[in-house]
């Protein structure tokens, strides 16, 4: 068993294909196939079910791919710790990011400072929904991820705070109010966004013992905003997720009463096993937070 075989196995599992894994690793498809067959022969089990149109891991393959990611992660940490003594000139950092909050507002600032400090570190960014980032952390697919806090499953570091706000069409009856309550939003068709913090919105209504009139589920922020502008319904979003207002828009942003804060932070599976590249990324993010550079909203 070699690190190369394990890396190929992990890439095939993530990309669900021999061809795509070969392209990502810049090797031939036959080399990928040979590595998987050799690994299966050594372990004495079938890791991948090969179908004509799809590829999926076997039950034992699902378990062993987690082990493979862990082994590769520890190996990368060892390489980086050795490299750290030489100024951390090389290494890899895998980041998970969700929605505009982290991908547009937070990550670019942190990444800019990180690249200046460590130009030799290769950075990979996976973008998805907030719950996908959590799953990637648990699967060891990424080293560090942006998450909505609190989350006791991980070691976490708060870096930004904003508030949840209601969005209503510009001519809606609630548009003239200074703030709105959850109860006032319940009669209207509600647009539940899946772009981020959906579980927080659901928790807010549950805690208030209210049930929104959910008519729509949207996975894209821009689609959600367009639906509110058309008058299809109302919604609740995190303020950091909203795009910068340029010109006239067809919706109005209203604070909730009472205010509902949201905290966003960086999370990793185990701080004790974090690579130097991961530790440096977190350190830079926390420094920017202390300097007040990760603030985008008024005081709550």
Tens-digit pLDDT profile for residues 170-225? 999 999 999 999 999 999 999 998 766 778 899 999 999 999 999 999 988 889 99
Q: What is the pLDDT of residue 181?
A: 97
Would 51 be classed as within a structural domain?
Answer: yes
Tally of domains within the chain: 2
Would 296 be classed as within a structural domain?
Answer: no
Please enumerate in sequence order all residues whose Cβ is within 8 A of that of 99, keeping only pairs 6 or more positions apart, or say none.
Answer: 129, 130, 195, 196, 221, 241
Please enumerate in sequence order all residues whose Cβ is within 8 A of that of 14, keeping only pairs 6 or more positions apart, or say none.
Answer: 21, 141
Last residue of a domain, one of 58, 86, 114: 86
For 69-83, what is the mean pLDDT? 77
C-alpha separations of 278 from 68, 126, 244 in Å: 19, 15, 30
How confident is the prediction for the chain on average, in pLDDT? 88
Q: Report the alpha-carbon distance of residue 46 to residue 28 in Å, rounded.
A: 22
Q: What is the pLDDT of residue 246?
A: 63
pLDDT tens-place string over residues 101-116: 898 899 999 999 999 9
Burial class of residue 92 (count of CB atoms within 10 Å of its CB; 0-12, 13-18, 19+): middle
Q: What is the CA radius of gyration of the chain?
A: 22
Q: Are residues 169 and 257 in the same domain?
A: yes
Would 95 be classed as within a structural domain?
Answer: no
Beta strands in 102-233 (DSSP E): 121-128, 144-149, 155-169, 189-193, 213-218
Contact 166, 175 (CB under 8 A): no
Beta strands in 2-154 (DSSP E): 48-50, 55-57, 91-98, 121-128, 144-149
pTM (two decimals): 0.72
Q: What is the pLDDT of residue 298?
A: 44
Tell me which residue range forms the domain holding 202: 162-261
Q: Are residues 251 and 167 in the same domain?
A: yes
């Amino acid at each position: 068993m070699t690190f190369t075989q394990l890396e190929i196995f992990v890439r095939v599992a993530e990309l669900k294909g021999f061809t795509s894994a070969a392209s990502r690793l810049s090797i031939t498809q036959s080399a990928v196939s040979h590595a998987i067959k050799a690994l299966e022969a050594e372990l004495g089990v079938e890791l991948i079910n090969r179908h004509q149109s799809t590829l999926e891991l076997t039950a034992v393959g699902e378990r062993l791919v987690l082990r493979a990611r862990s082994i590769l992660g520890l190996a990368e940490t060892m390489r980086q710790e050795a490299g750290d003594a030489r100024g951390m000139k090389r290494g890899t950092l895998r980041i998970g990011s969700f929605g505009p909050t982290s991908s547009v507002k937070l990550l670019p600032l942190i990444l800019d400072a990180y690249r200046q400090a460590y130009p030799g570190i290769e950075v990979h960014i996976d973008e998805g929904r907030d719950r996908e980032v959590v799953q990637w952390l648990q699967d060891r697919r990424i080293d560090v991820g942006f998450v909505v806090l609190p989350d006791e499953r991980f070691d976490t570091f708060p870096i930004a705070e904003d508030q949840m706000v209601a969005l209503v069409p510009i001519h809606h009856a609630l548009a003239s109010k200074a703030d709105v309550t959850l109860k006032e939003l319940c009669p209207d068709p509600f647009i539940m966004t899946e772009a981020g913090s959906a579980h927080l919105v659901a928790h807010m209504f549950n805690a208030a013992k209210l049930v929104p009139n959910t008519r729509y589920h949207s996975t894209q922020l821009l689609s959600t905003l367009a639906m509110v502008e058309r008058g299809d319904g109302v919604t609740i979003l995190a303020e950091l997720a909203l795009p910068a207002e340029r010109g006239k828009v067809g919706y109005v942003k209203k604070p909730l009463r009472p205010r509902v804060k949201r905290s966003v932070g960086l999370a990793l599976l185990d701080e004790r096993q974090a690579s130097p590249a991961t530790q440096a990324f977190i350190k830079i993010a926390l420094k920017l937070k202390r300097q007040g550079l990760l603030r985008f909203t008024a005081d709550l």
